[in-house]
Structure 1
């Protein structure tokens, strides 16, 4: 448990003062409906966990589903996610965040996409919060609608709240917005919602949906070693795992080069080999490794083999000058680990493993569902570009920047999502040529909440929690902390915010705000936060 210092206690108390009155109000109106919702939810939950696609990933969030259905009626709109010990994870993360110094936002540099450390240090997946597991049962959403007909938000109500806020001049010359009631799928608000604007890092929502739909949440990325017969050439074969680490694994579950080296050394010794020629294979990906925007501290060279995202220091997120050749650097580190295990090697060079090579050892990433959550929570550009390439590979498209973007758009079109006016050039949103509509962003979020698509749920559970995690850890401290979950997006002249919010009546709303031509990024960010906070604060009837 996190130690709460005297400096932190007053801020936690202030946050609690905001949360408790709302919780009490909502709980008082919800109690009569809890038993009825629970009776409806349990049979459907049992069916989904037994037969739904990607059953193992679904079981990860199954325990929260009944609570989520009750929450849709307004039981615990601000309680936040819980960990396995019963401690409120978001509160723990926030307490840690308040004790940390430094930024949760690398958007302060020009032409960058936002990212952040998680509050507890190294990036971790966001917890699956009950507040986003809403309407999962076949009848769950209908029960919510019928149980509180007077609590339904209206288009006129939403417009009366948002229109004056989005007219703020700090949002630039062009902006677009959309709001959708997740339970009904009904659009409540739209302003330029079909116009494609530069989305910045909100592009990652599209990348996440495409990757999960193409590969499934249990898919893992494997790095392996093979031995070429008769030549004693050991090849380290990159599997495109952006979370591969050369650091000591602290139990986070990331694949480690040290572990791979130990297993490889043991396999070589069984064959009587203690000296080998070392090579590395990065041919899984095609095309240029350098993003079209050029070298940028927010993204390493995109290669099928790298360790710790090519970071030369102990950082886990944020902009930093990356190593010039991540694959060669990772292989040199691997050679050092082999040497410590009694295997000497030649200086490594690039190669390609043949079909005759014998497999020696391998390590695999956490499930794709975890990678998606980490990508969204921390706005991780390296993971985003890797997932776009893997989406291309899974769908038979060339695995380069253009192919990844095309594959993502094709998957969205296959899902029946509105792709008119949409152009996706990369997976991260760093490319200023990207164009995404507010309509698509809200449709992606609604699709991720579809009871028939539990495989897409990590798109919702990975969204940063306002005031608690990821790129929203230092925002909403005195506003809608805990009830807004959203992906941020920032480039020079561009500000975006897309996610979900629980309103005063317990309705889960999906929203997307895009602003272009902004000149004061701090003011524009604050304006978007005010709009999201207003949605949380109204019943909008």
Structure 2
């Protein structure tokens, strides 16, 4: 069962996976497609990694070249030996000719027969229930090495966010930023200064817009108030009337699951994802009126800056005659995708689905987002048979995707033909260290996957899924997806999924 690579994970294998070495293993030319965001962030990270200092895209570091134990309070190791040759266009040195061939994607991939023998007993385990499906793809070639019900459409839960991310990145690009603006409306019938300036806070669909004093890299309502107040004062406007505009989105704001601590009403204007307690991450009480609350907060920030808001803050639609006074922009789409995938952020997921619709000139509602997500994935050549994208987050049980769809997206994200999709890989949680996998891979059956498996989780009642990438014992990058729709014990199901991914990591077969 140990095959050529044996059961013991090698240090190079661990560090390669922890630094998203899939791109190196898929093609030594991957670096030529960077930088990956508008600020050249990914190129800078590679250089820091090559020097052995600093942090990488998932806050990995190096400690004497050894894996840092999960749960130690430390962070995962970097992989300078993998990233440094990428920038030089070379191959990652390990030991011997076989290692160099593996880095170039030339080592033999696992055989279908071997994978079937290893994976099928786990897929049929009681923990996953009947009908679990799987797909394993060689990322270097896109060839499916193993499939079990891979074309069967299943409820994906949050693994659908992989598709949401790929669609948004392919349409908008990783550098895209979501704008929130303040515009001034003309005041007909009044001479200059005879009436309060009429301004509108226009939402562009950025759920990460923040009202906090510390923005943490997000667009800030306070910064927007700074900029708008400065312009207004120059115009002699110390008193204004304020409205807010959410017309960028249409259709129902409430998700089909109803009021829920996992997601706010979907609005083109909100602050801090509508959280009533911004100190909490994960599920948290949400406001029923995110746009009104954001506009009220903005009114308060204007007052703090010497511009008084007269009367009630009401909803309105900015006219074509409005003059832009100020704006703030979100972090790049690449960063939003990574945050969404790492932390399974439902609000960002729904926003990105609507941004995909907006980019196509479609209605930015649930139906428009589904239609344009399908079109974007179809252009990427992703198989769509039987699929349904009822939402962008995976909270809706009407969603359907196949295991093959997910591995197809992941394989394309690893290919140098699609550098714009790279955040789909870099955003995946690292087993045992980050995001929704931080507390997993501690059991005996899956511990060897720590730091090697990178995957998106999916969990609903009776539904458990896992899809991501892993470097096997021969140095081959594999994309995998496992979908189970009849589970009765979430803990056992998650443990079995983790064991499946770890089995791929151990495979030298």
Specify every segment of 5 or more residues in structure 1 that has no aligned partner in the other structure, as ranges: 1-20, 28-36, 71-75, 101-118, 121-126
Contact 1:331/1:348 (<8 A) preserved: yes
Specify every segment of 5 or more residues in structure 2 that has no aligned partner in the other structure, as ranges: 1-7, 15-23, 93-97, 188-194
Query: What SS is found at the alignment partner of 2:449?
Result: coil
Aligned equivalents of 1:369 and 1:145: distance in 2? 29
1:60 aligns with 2:41: yes
The residue that corresponds to 1:333 in the other structure is 297
Aligned equivalents of 1:536 and 1:336: distance in 2? 54
Write the mapping of 1:472-491 to structure 2, written as runs, cut at 5 A.
Answer: 472-477=437-442, 478-491=447-460
Contact 1:132/1:461 (<8 A) preserved: no
Contact 1:64/1:130 (<8 A) preserved: no
Aligned equivalents of 1:455 and 1:130: distance in 2? 24
| CA-CA distance at 1:253 after TM superposition | 1.3
Contact 1:67/1:130 (<8 A) preserved: no
Aligned equivalents of 1:513 and 1:342: distance in 2? 56
Out of 179, 184, 190, the residue aligned to residue 136 of structure 2 is: 179
Contact 1:180/1:509 (<8 A) preserved: yes
Aligned equivalents of 2:285 and 2:60: distance in 1? 40
1:258 aligns with 2:232: no
The residue that corresponds to 2:9 in the other structure is 22
Provide the alpha-carbon RMSD of the alignment. Answer: 3.7
Aligned equivalents of 1:505 and 1:329: distance in 2? 54
Contact 1:377/1:462 (<8 A) preserved: yes
Aligned equivalents of 2:404 and 2:73: distance in 1? 38
The residue that corresponds to 2:192 in the other structure is none
Out of 431, 437, 443, the residue aligned to residue 402 of structure 2 is: 437
The residue that corresponds to 1:104 in the other structure is none
Contact 1:223/1:238 (<8 A) preserved: yes
Q: TM-score, normalised by structure 1?
A: 0.79
Contact 2:155/2:397 (<8 A) preserved: yes
| CA-CA distance at 1:22 after TM superposition | 3.5
| CA-CA distance at 1:409 after TM superposition | 1.1
Contact 2:178/2:204 (<8 A) preserved: yes
Out of 130, 150, 153, the residue aligned to residue 193 of structure 1 is: 150
1:470 aligns with 2:435: yes
Write the mapping of 1:284-433 to structure 2, written as runs, cut at 5 A.
Answer: 284-345=248-309, 346-433=311-398
Query: What SS is found at the alignment partner of 1:407?
Result: helix
Over 3 Å counting, the alpha-carbon distance change for 1:129 and 1:378 in structure 2 is farther
The residue that corresponds to 1:33 in the other structure is none
Moved more, 304-313 or 392-401: 392-401
Contact 1:136/1:450 (<8 A) preserved: no
The residue that corresponds to 2:56 in the other structure is 82
1:224 aligns with 2:181: yes
| CA-CA distance at 1:88 after TM superposition | 4.0
Query: What SS is found at the alignment partner of 1:361?
Result: strand
Query: What SS is found at the alignment partner of 1:374?
Result: helix
Aligned equivalents of 1:192 and 1:80: distance in 2? 43
Q: TM-score, normalised by structure 2?
A: 0.84
| CA-CA distance at 1:479 after TM superposition | 3.2
| CA-CA distance at 1:506 after TM superposition | 1.4
Deviations 1:107-151 (A, max 9, x none): xxxxxxxxxxxx99xxxxxx9999799999999899846978664
Aligned equivalents of 1:179 and 1:286: distance in 2? 38
| CA-CA distance at 1:315 after TM superposition | 3.5
The residue that corresponds to 1:168 in the other structure is 125
Deviations 1:476-510 (A, max 9, x none): 13331100000000011100000001111111110
The residue that corresponds to 2:190 in the other structure is none
The residue that corresponds to 1:48 in the other structure is 33
| CA-CA distance at 1:317 after TM superposition | 2.8
Aligned equivalents of 1:133 and 1:453: distance in 2? 21
Aligned equivalents of 2:489 and 2:83: distance in 1? 32
Aligned equivalents of 1:531 and 1:132: distance in 2? 28
Aligned equivalents of 1:129 and 1:325: distance in 2? 47
If each structure's helix is expressed as a fraction of its own residues, which one has the higher value?
A: 1
Contact 1:285/1:400 (<8 A) preserved: yes
Deviations 1:384-405 (A, max 9, x none): 0000001001112211011111
Aligned equivalents of 1:65 and 1:293: distance in 2? 42
Aligned equivalents of 2:58 and 2:347: distance in 1? 29
Query: What SS is found at the alignment partner of 2:465?
Result: strand
Aligned equivalents of 2:380 and 2:253: distance in 1? 29
Contact 1:155/1:188 (<8 A) preserved: yes
Query: What SS is found at the alignment partner of 1:178?
Result: strand
Query: What SS is found at the alignment partner of 2:328?
Result: strand
Over 3 Å counting, the alpha-carbon distance change for 1:325 and 1:24 in structure 2 is closer
| CA-CA distance at 1:87 after TM superposition | 3.3
| CA-CA distance at 1:55 after TM superposition | 6.1
Contact 2:107/2:474 (<8 A) preserved: no
Over 3 Å counting, the alpha-carbon distance change for 1:309 and 1:134 in structure 2 is farther
| CA-CA distance at 1:61 after TM superposition | 2.6
Aligned equivalents of 2:505 and 2:32: distance in 1? 32
Aligned equivalents of 2:201 and 2:364: distance in 1? 20
1:203 aligns with 2:203: no
